[in-house]
Structure 1
Amino acid sequence: MVLLALGIALSGLGFAKNALSLPAVAEEEKPLVLLTEAAHPPYAYLTDKGEMVGFEIDLVNAICARIKRACVFKHREFDRLVPSLLAGKGDAIVSSLDITDERREKFTLSEPYFRMPALFVARKDEVPKELTPEALAKVSIGALRDSPYASLAEARFPNSPLSTYPTQIEANLDLAADRIDLVIGDEMSLRDWLKTAPEASCCVAAGRVEDPDRVAGEGFAVVFRKEEDGLKQKFDAALKDLRADGTYAAIARKYFDFDPL
């Protein structure tokens, strides 16, 4: 009886030991919680049925499938994203956050998963044959004031007169009215203007603006807590694979008329 009782006690200790080890396994297997402000189509937004959809949703779901982790998205207002991450209420933020030096100091950032190309738009009868600094010397350019695209125009085309405007539409209207020769801005917004605005019938896309020094920004990154470098490495490797096998391009084509990387 004593031996039997001792065996039961030891078995109980073994069970307790196994029970104590379970949370570590569960921690690895539990879904990753991804925080986003689902109010910005086409990146992340809610349908009429309350379903969260968009480019970032599709892309990160594909990344999660590659790293074999279940992922769930949780909506947060923009000013609650960072506090929620730091409070442990999510594992990462996926919400069109730019890569900046300040964010690098405070967080671990993924490799960029989206870059907004800069585009030149010109009037149909005055499209430049080349978009080099030499070819555009003395060609006037309009841009949104204090935007990265204004900085890009200033850096890349120092001999081109630059006019800046409170809004992009004001720059576009000056182009349509023949008061400037080109406008520069983000490709998605300008292509949308070309497709939808009546006054844009005057104009066409003249071509992308090269930005080798990333003056207009490095792009969007997934934001992790500082200690989550291991998770960042998994996300980066999965993104690289999605780029290589064409999955990234297929997802991007659902939402954009251009390759965002």
Structure 2
Amino acid sequence: MKKVLLAVALGSICALSFAQGKDLKVAIDPTYEPFTFKTADGKPTGFDVDIANALCEQIKRKCVFVEQVWDSMIPGLQAKKYDVIISSMSITEDRLKAIDFTDKYYNTPSRVVVKKGVNYTGPASIKGKKIGVLKGSTQEKYAMGELKTVGVEVIPYEAQDQVYLDIKAGRLDGTVADFVEVTGGFLSKPEGKDYQLVGPELYIEKYFGIGAGIGLRKGETALKTELNGAIKAIRANGVYKKINDKYFKFDVYGK
């Protein structure tokens, strides 16, 4: 009898430990430096990855990263291939129809990037130019709504780094991208030396939403509450600032 009771007790302890340490499957698109990219040995890294790990530590879970092509992120979440999306996904009205989000964990503007010497005075001034954007992104939505309508050729790509490769190869004239990402992932590198940011900072809510949040399936109320608490905690205890300062020279939490 004692052996049976001991076995039940041990089983209960193991079940509790498993629940507390359960893996959190996190979808990422590792082509978005400095938010999410890979080290030389193929490990995921970047601001989003560090934030995810900090949040997992806060809620006593282990992050397991699942690589996913950007425009398949939401279908993959709905199909339960992973638990959350922590990959610079902006909170927009359209996306909220399909999935839920936590509070924002950062908010940076988007910008138009073209070759130096181009006299950019607004979307119409680059009529006929070829602009590459990330397929399924808020930048694609903006480009389709504001650039294509005035005669700019907008070309969607599966990954942002493919956009930069085609700019370098001369197949594109520029891009619309997150300001921080395009600065770190392109403009600060040798291949971006002949290109520049033009026009205003783009915060237009109907295109870009209200900041990047963690994507969850509808109805995941307990997990959403946990993650919102964790975001507040790492903002308060200095962990967020430490991660922020590792990658950026300003607070990307933003407006």
Q: Secondary structure at the match of 1:236?
A: helix
Match of 2:180 in 1: 188
Match of 1:33 in 2: 24
Matched, 1:91 2:83: yes
CA deviations on 1:170-210 (whole Å, 9 max, x unpaired) are 9x959xxxxxxxx975313653347643533xx56665245
Query: 2-side partners of 1:122 and 1:50: how far apart?
Result: 31
Q: Secondary structure at the match of 2:103?
A: coil
- Checking the alignment, whether the CA contact within 8 Å between 2:123 and 2:150 is kept in structure 1 is no
The alignment covers a number of residue pairs equal to 227
Query: 2-side partners of 1:104 and 1:152: how far apart?
Result: 20
1:149 to 133, 137, 142: 142
Of the structure 1 ranges 190-199 and 36-45, higher mean CA displacement relative to structure 2 is found in 190-199
Q: Secondary structure at the match of 1:75?
A: strand
1:49 to 18, 41, 44: 41
Deviation of 1:28 after TM superposition, in Å, equals 2.6
2:152 to 160, 164, 168: 164
Unpaired stretches in structure 1, ≥5 consecutive residues: 1-8, 129-135, 155-160, 175-182
1:234 to 1:189, Cα distance in 2 relative to 1, 3 A: closer
CA RMSD of aligned residues (A): 4.6
Identity level (%): 24
TM (normalized to structure 1)? 0.61
- Checking the alignment, whether the CA contact within 8 Å between 2:52 and 2:63 is kept in structure 1 is no
TM (normalized to structure 2)? 0.62
1:222 to 1:127, Cα distance in 2 relative to 1, 3 A: same
Unpaired stretches in structure 2, ≥5 consecutive residues: 133-138, 156-162
Matched, 1:114 2:114: no
Match of 1:132 in 2: none
Q: Secondary structure at the match of 1:112?
A: strand
1:194 to 1:93, Cα distance in 2 relative to 1, 3 A: closer
Q: Secondary structure at the match of 1:72?
A: strand
Q: Secondary structure at the match of 1:254?
A: helix
Match of 1:199 in 2: 194
Query: 1-side partners of 2:39 and 2:123: how far apart?
Result: 47
Of the structure 1 ranges 233-242 and 29-38, higher mean CA displacement relative to structure 2 is found in 29-38
Deviation of 1:46 after TM superposition, in Å, equals 2.9
CA deviations on 1:43-92 (whole Å, 9 max, x unpaired) are 3333232332121111111122333x141323344388667656666433
Match of 2:63 in 1: 72
Query: 1-side partners of 2:75 and 2:202: how far apart?
Result: 36
- Checking the alignment, whether the CA contact within 8 Å between 2:92 and 2:206 is kept in structure 1 is no
Query: 2-side partners of 1:113 and 1:35: how far apart?
Result: 15
Give the residue type in structure 2 aligned to 1:147.
E
Query: 2-side partners of 1:73 and 1:137: how far apart?
Result: 43
Give the residue type in structure 2 aligned to 1:44.
T
Of the structure 1 ranges 28-37 and 82-91, higher mean CA displacement relative to structure 2 is found in 82-91
Q: Secondary structure at the match of 2:104?
A: coil
Matched, 1:229 2:227: no
- Checking the alignment, whether the CA contact within 8 Å between 2:90 and 2:211 is kept in structure 1 is yes
Bigger-Rg structure (1/2) = 1
Q: Secondary structure at the match of 1:113?
A: strand
Match of 1:104 in 2: 96
Deviation of 1:165 after TM superposition, in Å, equals 3.2
1:164 to 1:116, Cα distance in 2 relative to 1, 3 A: farther
Deviation of 1:218 after TM superposition, in Å, equals 3.4
- Checking the alignment, whether the CA contact within 8 Å between 1:63 and 1:239 is kept in structure 2 is yes
Query: 2-side partners of 1:194 and 1:45: how far apart?
Result: 16
